[in-house]
Each structure stands twice: as structure tokens, then as C-alpha cells.
Amino acid sequence: MLTGSKVILREKRLADARDDYTWQTDPELAQLDATPLLDTSLIQYLLDYPIKLHYSSLIRCQFAIDTLDGKHIGNCVYYGINETKGEAELGIMIGNRDYWDKGYGSDALVSLLSHIFRETKLNRVYLKTLDSNQRAQKCFQKCGFIPYGYLNKDGYSFVLMEIRRNQWGKKGKWEFKTASASSRQSNQSLT
């Protein structure tokens, strides 16, 4: 369990299934996440959930995001862990809209990055987010992610962002080096 100032990151559990179903069948969330809308009945989803949770936990480090008083508001994960390269991809979703733009996402990310850089040997964490998703980009930049390129895939335009261990501060979780190279122009040459 990882505790931030606004959220707790905890192990996923079976009781998360209904929230996860609600969020995965939400058209706006699917669009923001550039993922297909889930097309499964709730019954089938609940039946499949235990086995999916088990197998995904074998290859992904996934956490539920709870408020400090225990409300499940989203999920975050790092996956594609490459120990040779020392890197992994990160994903996050605050599914409950009531908690957008209030610092919950950045607190969850900072807590997760703090865990990754303190408890694992990974040196680089990267992610992609839609070019149009300004909220997500702002949130990631607040946490120290720096844009390093662009990707067009499956009809979507993504911004690629990364943070390296040496950009993560040593004294405290918010004391990272500021993402100064954040302008689109300065990064286009990297694509």
C-alpha cells in the first residue's frame, strides 16, 4: 500500500469489479484513453474478473487509487517492465469525474513514481497520452514527465512522455527537477 497526501494506492481486489466495469464502458473515458469501449455484459465481466485480475497481476504492477477515506476513484499501473533496459510504461485513470482537476491524479502518480524509483531498479518510466488530452499532459508535466516525441497509431495522435531516475529528486517526492523542455516546438525534433 502506498500513501500519498490525497490518495492511497492499494492492491486491486474483486470488489473493484463494478467500478472498473462502469469506467471501461464509459464512452468518454474510452475516448480519452484511446481504448475501445468494452462490449461485454456486466454478468460476463463479473464472471471473468477474478481470472483476469489474477493473470494481469502476474505481468503488471497494478494499483487501485482510493481517496484517503477509502473511496475507489481510479486505477494506475506500470507494465511492460524491461529489466535489461531498466524501463516500464505507466498508465493511470481517474474514472470518477468528481475527482478530476483536484490533484488526485498527480498525487497518485507522484506516489507511484516514488515507489518505482525507491523500490525498483527501473531508471526510466514512459507513457503516451492523446495529443488532445491537455489535462493529462498538464498532470504528467506537474509530476516531472517531459515530452520527448509524438506517435501516430491506429488513427490517434499521441504525445510521448518520460521521466528518468536522475530527474527524480532525492529528498522528497515532489522535489523532482522541473520539466523545462515542455514546449512542443523544442521537442518535435526528437520524433
Ligand X SMILES: CC(C)(COP(=O)(O)OP(=O)(O)OC[C@H]1O[C@@H](n2cnc3c(N)ncnc32)[C@H](O)[C@@H]1OP(=O)(O)O)[C@@H](O)C(=O)NCCC(=O)NCCS
Give residues in contact with ligand X (CB under 6 A): 29, 32-33, 92-94, 100-106, 129, 133-136, 138-139, 142
Least gap, CB of 130 to ligand X (angstroms)? 7
Least gap, CB of 190 to ligand X (angstroms)? 19
Taking phi first (over 0 means left), then psi (-120 to 50 degrees means alpha), and beta for anything else, what does residue 67 get? beta
Least gap, CB of 91 to ligand X (angstroms)? 7
CB closer to ligand X, 16 vs 43: 16
Give the torsion sign (CA, 134, 131, 113, 95).
positive
CB closer to ligand X, 44 vs 134: 134
CB closer to ligand X, 103 vs 149: 103
Least gap, CB of 84 to ligand X (angstroms)? 26
Report yes or no: 30 and 37 within 8 Å, Cβ to Cβ. yes
CB closer to ligand X, 88 vs 94: 94
Q: d(Cα 11, Cα 65) in Å, to the nearest integer?
A: 9
Q: In Å, what is the CA distance from 186 to each residue of 40, 133, 182? A: 43, 19, 7
Tell me how crowded residue 58 is: count the other CB atoms within 10 A of its CB: 6
Report yes or no: 34 and 133 within 8 Å, Cβ to Cβ. no
Please choose, from the candidates 140, 145, 154, 136, the residue with its C-alpha nearest in 3D space to the C-alpha of residue 34. Answer: 154
Closest residue to ligand X, Cβ-based? 105
Least gap, CB of 134 to ligand X (angstroms)? 3
